[in-house]
Amino acid sequence: MVTPAPGQAAALEADPARPCCPPLSSAPVTAEIAAEFGLAFKALGDPVRLRLLSMIVAADGGEVCVCELTPGFEQSAPTISHHLRLLREAGLVTSQRRGTWVYYRAVPARLAALTGLLAGMAGD
């Protein structure tokens, strides 16, 4: 069973071809959008969570077992699980339990929305 995080359902149902909101360079974002995306950017502000997301996105087949993620860190398994929960709550990953293991996948629509929000800020 895939477990979406609270508030993630809208991101999963959104049309990935349609941006969620205008880029920051075109107009200020609303308080609601800032709160929603602030959670995702806050999750990515931690080096462990950024590495975890990178490992999930780069995994063959687009998903990875927690048993493959944990050995890459000095932190304990419960700490890695905590970081993965925060990524899930931010809507950046989904999880699916298979027997005793949990598998993680990135949410492409959510990552595209973050990218779209930052589009144009570099002045290109």
Query: If you count DSSP H runs as helices and E runs as strands, how many of each does the chain have, helices first?
Result: 6, 4
Residues 106, 113: Cα–Cα separation, whole Å: 13
Tell me the pTM.
0.78
Query: What is the per-residue DSSP string for 81-115?
Result: HHHHHHHHHTTSEEEEEETTEEEEEE-HHHHHHHH
Query: Each residue of 68-107: pLDDT tens digit?
Result: 999 999 999 999 999 999 999 999 999 999 999 999 999 9
Please return the burial class of 83, using the count of CB atoms within 10 Å of its CB with bins 0-12, 13-18 and 19+.
buried
Domains of the chain in start order, with CATH, are 30-116 (1.10.10.10)
Query: Each residue of 46-78: pLDDT tens digit?
Result: 999 999 999 999 999 999 999 999 999 999 999
Residue 18 pLDDT exceeds 50: no
**What's the gap between Cα 5 and its chain centre?**
10
The number of residues in the chain equals: 124
